[in-house]
Amino acid sequence: MNDDQLLRYSRQIMLPELDYAGQQALLQARVLIVGVGGLGSPVAMYLAAAGIGQLVLADDDVVDLTNLQRQIVHSEQTVNQLKVDSAAATIAQLNHDINVECLPQRLADQSMEEQVEAADVVVDCSDNLATRTALNQVCWEKKTPLVMGAAIRFEGQLSVFDSRNPASPCYACLHHQTNSLDVTCSANGVMSPMVGVIGTMQALETVKLLAGLGQPAVGKLMMFDGLSAQWHSFALPKLDDCKVCAKG
């Protein structure tokens, strides 16, 4: 790290759990963020501010006026622009040292496999079941940790799936046990700060994974009720018959 970086990240470096070595690990890390909407906005901005060296942004959508209520990485000036380009511009103003790679596409098949394999951590900020399911499958096969978040109405949830840990469940285990629906903000609505709460937690879990801090939320489902301001944590067991993580 140079002198400017030592000063910029000094409030993190002084944390004994992180220290110089942890900050260096963040600067050398590559994180894939799938979706730069409501969840992806705080994830991208906080990871950039924290000093994640390389961020890969994947999203095929453009900024719409209805996005601005919650997707804080975008602005009125970037309406009708590709979301990845809009987010990259905001990140450049926040931290010009961060290397941002823009993928204006919905990842699938070979492109998803290549990006997941190249990443140190994948952050799932998507809003559809098909992408979540495919991403879970590829992350498990490539041994890449996956940080999942979701928010709708006044509710949010968070979990970490890490195939490097033999005891870790995967998203398929969660989906099977909760029968989660493929719901969207456009159809159900969402309170603006809810995506901020969950997205910020996703960023924190990502930093923990990269720097080896604390206990990432592996093997549990964390749920937040915005109306009562309460967190609930549930054990999420690995299913013996899961078609993804029980193989082999």
Q: Tens digits of per-residue pLDDT, 90-139?
A: 999 999 999 999 999 999 999 999 999 999 999 999 988 899 999 999 99
Residue 117 neighbours by CB under 8 Å, 6+ apart: 142, 144
- Within a domain: 247: no
- Within a domain: 244: no
168 burial type by CB count under 10 A (0-12 exposed, 13-18 middle, 19+ buried): buried
- Within a domain: 245: no
Kindly report the average pLDDT of the chain as a whole number. Answer: 93
Number of domains in the chain: 1
Q: Does residue 248 carry a pLDDT above 60? A: no
Alpha helices (H) along the chain: 3-8, 10-13, 19-27, 40-50, 83-94, 109-118, 129-142, 171-178, 185-188, 192-211
Q: Does residue 68 carry a pLDDT above 60? A: yes
- Residue in 76, 78, 18 with CA at minimum distance from that of residue 50: 18
- Within a domain: 201: yes
- Which domain covers residue 27, as residue numbers? 3-235
- Within a domain: 172: yes
State if pTM tops 0.85: yes
The Cα–Cα gap between 191 and 68 comes to 12
Relative to beta strand 30-34, strand 54-58 is parallel
Check which CATH number belongs to the domain holding 60 and give it: 3.40.50.720
- Within a domain: 63: yes
- Within a domain: 206: yes
The Cα–Cα gap between 89 and 110 comes to 27
